[in-house]
Amino acid sequence: MYQEAYHHEPLEKYSFLITGGAGFIGSNLVAYLLKHNAKKVRVLDNLSTGFKHNIEEFESHPNFEFILGDIRDVETCKTAVSEMDFVLHQAALGSVPRSFNDPISTNAVNISGFLNMLVASRDAGVKRMVYAASSSTYGDSKALPKQEDIIGNPLSPYAITKYVNELYADNISKHFDFHSVGLRYFNVFGPKQNVKGAYAAVIPLFFNAGIHNTKVTINGDGNQTRDFTFVENVVQANIKSLFAEITKHEVFNVAVGDRISVNDLWNNIKEITQSTTEASYGESRIGDVRDSLADISKAKKLLQYNPKYTVRDGLSITYDFFKKQSETNDK
C-alpha cells in the first residue's frame, strides 16, 4: 500500500501531528507519511480505542514520535502541536451505539477535545488542520446522493458531535483566518481496523466470521446500503486536503460514490473467505441510516480526489491483512 504519492510538495520539509494516530485511520496516515519521507510524524493518542501494535512498526523510525496523552487536556494539545506544520485530527470516540450508551464521554472527546485541538492548532500557527468529519451528519435526510450542503436532523449523539465540529471549524475560519478542512468519511474499512470489542465495524466482523466460519448476524434485513470506502482512498483525501488551495473552511465527502447492500457485502466476503456460514438477522440498530451514497464531485473538483480502490479491491487487500493476523494469533 501507499506506493503512489498523493502529494506534490516534498514532505521532507514538513512536520505532522496525527491525533488518534494509534487508531485505524490514524496509523494508516502515519504509514503514508513515513513511507514518503515526512520530516517529522508525531502521534498523540491516549490508547483508549487505539492500539500500540498499530504503530509498533514505526517506533524505531528516526522521524517518528509518540505522545501518550488525551485531547481533553488543553495543555497536552498545546504541547502536541508545538513546532508542527500540519495537524491531521483523527482522535474521537466513534460508533453510533457507543454514543447512545455513553453520550457524556462522546461529547467530551468529540466536542471539547476537538475544540481544544482546533484552538491549539490556530494559536500555534499550524498551516492547516484536516479533521475527520462524518457522513452521520446527513442524519435523516433522504436525499441521494449525499451532497455537502444538504443535511438532515442528526440521528445519534455521535452525529451531533461531528456536526458541532464543523460549526466550530467554520466559525473559527470566518473570524480568525484559520481554514481547516473537514472530511466526511463514509464507512471506512481496511487493514488495522479493530475486529474485537462491542463497537467493531461490520467489515472486520464479517471477515472474522468468514475466516473462522463462525456465526454472523446482520442488523435489520440486510438491504440497507452503504458507500464503503477503502482506507487508502481516505488517506489520499487527507493528504490532498493538506495542500489544496482553499481560502475558507470546507467540508468534503470522502467515499467511492457507489453503494452496496449489507447482504451483498456479506456475500462478497463469504466468497473471498470461502466461508460456508449463513447469516442470521437481528434487530435494526438505533440511529442507523437506511441508505448512504456520496456525491464526491466537490472533492474531485477542489481536492483532485480520485478514489483508486473499489470496494472489491479493498476487500481483497483487507482479507489478506485479517488472514495474516488470524494466522499469527493462532500460533
Neighbours of 122 (CB within 10 A): 17
| Helices H / strands E in the chain, number of each | 11, 13
319 is known as an active-site residue = no
Q: What are phi and psi of 273, to 5 degrees?
A: -85, -5
Contact of 35 with 2, CB cutoff 8 Å: yes
The residues, ordered by sequence, that sit 6+ positions from 151 with a Cβ below 8 Å of its Cβ are 137, 138, 139, 141, 163
CA nearest 80: which of 15, 29, 7? 15
Contact of 21 with 65, CB cutoff 8 Å: no
Catalytic residue among 158, 163, 185, 319: 158
Backbone dihedral region for residue 161 (phi beyond 0: left; psi -120 to 50: alpha; all else: beta): alpha
| Cis peptide bond upstream of 62, omega within 30 | no
d(CA 304, CA 114): 27
Joined together, the cell numbers standing for residue 189 give: 474499512
The residues, ordered by sequence, that sit 6+ positions from 197 with a Cβ below 8 Å of its Cβ are none
Which active-site residues does the annotation give?
158
